[in-house]
């Protein structure tokens, strides 16, 4: 049996979480069009015959503006140690840029092999356009492989998995066969709700949101899971935005979350959402800790 750990790193919004979900074959990490969506190192596990690969999805590395931002970068950097392989993702649509160059320089200091991955090739306009990007990417470092692919269409994903499998050492399984992620049900629930809030919001609000699952347990009727969760905002004005006129926005977010939670938990779900203010939580280490960061 072979097994190992693979860290997935890159700028925000390049498609790291989408790729981990595509490889694992299930949604283990939330994905949105808004940069800085991922805030934890989420593990997603690929199980196949005689092979287990644990992928570590990480927050996008960026120039931090808040205490939260610094923590996200630290999580991403921390994930580089103790892995067998690093996937360095760049966005083929946005093109290889300064942020990517900065990360590539960090990666030069690690002894771990790095695969450079050009993602989103379904939306770049064809192989002719990808070629110069692949060359720019290859020039950023000493990469073991340079791979173009699309995480959303899965084009090139199986090829990447085969290259990864070749690099995994002999080792034991780290997770039981039925487990695809290291998240607790409470974390999974909070993340799914956060995704629905982010997608419903505009401008700076997505970054101001944190979600905590307060209660998760058997509901009053049989076969129902009862969930109470709190959506935290960091400015008073944002409370009204999340709740919406007459509570319609929050009701809509709740409905969308429930539609995804029910198949994810394999049960009917009763969901109660609250909105609370935690002033400037992104800049306050104590509040960050209370919110799970
Ligand atoms: N066209 C296209 N879009 C993609 C592809 N992969 C990801 N995306 C989109 O890119 C956006 C960001 O995807 P994520 O997977 O959340 O990106 P991320 O790198 O995890 O972002 P952070 O967690 O913020 O660092 C989403 O809108 C995805 O649908 C792809 O292969 N092709
Ligand atoms: Mg992500």
* Predicted confidence pLDDT, tens digits, the chain (293 residues): 999 999 999 999 999 999 999 999 999 999 999 999 999 999 999 999 899 999 999 999 999 999 999 999 999 999 999 999 999 999 999 999 999 999 999 999 899 999 999 999 999 999 999 999 999 999 999 999 999 999 999 999 999 999 999 999 999 999 999 999 999 999 999 999 999 999 999 888 999 999 999 999 999 999 999 999 999 999 999 999 999 999 999 999 999 999 999 999 999 999 999 999 999 999 999 999 999 99
- Ligand with minimal distance to 10 CA: 1
Residues 6+ apart with CB under 8 A from 171: 1, 2, 3, 4
- What single string gives the DSSP state of each residue in 9-60? EESTTSSHHHHHHHHHTS--S---SSSS---S-EEEEEEETTEEEEEEE-PP
Q: Whose CA is nearest to atom 12 of ligand 1?
A: 13
27 lines ligand 1 (CB under 6 A): no
Locate the domains of the chain by residue range: 2-167, 185-290
171 closest CA partner among 2, 8, 47 = 2
Beta-bridge mates of residue 86: 7, 114
> Which CATH homologous superfamily contains domain 185-290?
K homology (KH) domain (3.30.300.20)
Q: What are phi and psi of 119, to 5 degrees?
A: -95, 170
Q: What is d(CA 97, CA 37) in angstroms, rounded to the nearest whole number? A: 20
Q: What is the pLDDT of residue 269?
A: 97
124 lines ligand 1 (CB under 6 A): no
Note residues around ion ligand 2 (Cβ under 5 angstroms). 16-17, 37-38
- Ligand 1 pocket: which of 7, 10, 11, 18 to mutate (most atoms <8 Å of CB)? 18
Q: What is the pLDDT of residue 165?
A: 97
79 lines ligand 1 (CB under 6 A): no
- Ligand 1 pocket: which of 7, 9, 12, 13 to mutate (most atoms <8 Å of CB)? 13
Beta-bridge mates of residue 54: 5, 45
Q: What is the pLDDT of residue 42?
A: 96
123 lines ligand 1 (CB under 6 A): yes
31 lines ligand 1 (CB under 6 A): yes
* Parallel/antiparallel/unpaired status of strands 210-218 and 224-233: antiparallel
17 lines ligand 1 (CB under 6 A): yes
Query: What is the second-level CATH architecture of the domain 2-167?
Result: 3-Layer(aba) Sandwich (3.40)
Please state the atom number of ligand 1 nearest to the C-alpha of residue 31.
Answer: 16
Question: Residue 233 Cα, ligand 1 centroid: separation in angstroms?
Answer: 24
pTM score, whole prediction? 0.97
Question: Residue 182 Cα, ligand 2 centroid: separation in angstroms?
Answer: 16
Q: What is the pLDDT of residue 141?
A: 97
Question: Residue 261 Cα, ligand 2 centroid: separation in angstroms?
Answer: 19
* Parallel/antiparallel/unpaired status of strands 2-10 and 224-233: unpaired
Q: Judging by beta carbons within 10 Å of its beta carbon (0-12, 13-18, 19+), is residue 198 exposed, middle or buried?
A: buried
120 lines ligand 1 (CB under 6 A): yes
Please check whether residue 202 is in contact with residue 72, taking contact to mean a CB–CB distance below 8 angstroms. Answer: no
Q: What is the pLDDT of residue 154?
A: 98
Q: Whose CA is nearest to atom 27 of ligand 1?
A: 33
């Amino acid at each position: 049996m072979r097994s190992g750990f693979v860290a997935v790193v890159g700028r925000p919004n390049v498609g790291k979480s989408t790729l981990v979900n595509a490889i694992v074959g299930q949604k283990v990490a939330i994905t949105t069009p808004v940069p800085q969506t991922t805030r934890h190192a989420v593990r997603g596990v690929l199980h196949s015959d005689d092979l287990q690969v644990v992928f570590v999805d990480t927050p996008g590395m960026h120039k931090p503006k808040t205490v939260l931002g610094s923590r996200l970068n630290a999580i991403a950097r921390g994930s580089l140690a103790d892995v067998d392989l690093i996937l360095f993702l760049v966005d083929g649509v946005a093109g290889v840029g300064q942020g990517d160059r900065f990360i590539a320089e960090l990666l030069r200091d690690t002894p771990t092999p790095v695969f450079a991955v050009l993602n989103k090739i379904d939306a770049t306009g064809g192989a002719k356009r990808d070629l110069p990007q692949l060359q720019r990417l290859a020039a950023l470092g000493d990469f073991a492989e340079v791979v173009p692919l699309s995480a959303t269409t899965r084009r090139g994903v199986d090829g990447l998995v085969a290259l990864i499998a070749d690099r995994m050492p002999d080792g034991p399984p780290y997770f039981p066969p039925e487990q695809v992620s290291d998240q607790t049900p409470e974390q999974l629930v909070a993340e799914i709700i956060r995704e629905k809030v982010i997608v419903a919001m505009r401008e700076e609000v997505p970054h101001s949101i944190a979600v905590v699952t307060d209660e998760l347990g058997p509901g009053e009727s049989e076969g129902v899971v009862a969930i109470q969760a709190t959506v935290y905002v960091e400015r008073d004005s944002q409370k009204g935005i999340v709740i919406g006129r007459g509570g319609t926005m929050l009701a809509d977010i709740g409905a969308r979350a429930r539609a995804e939670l029910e198949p994810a938990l394999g049960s009917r779900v009763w969901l109660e959402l609250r909105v609370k203010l935690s002033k400037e939580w992104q800049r306050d280490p104590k509040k960050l800790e209370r919110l799970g960061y």
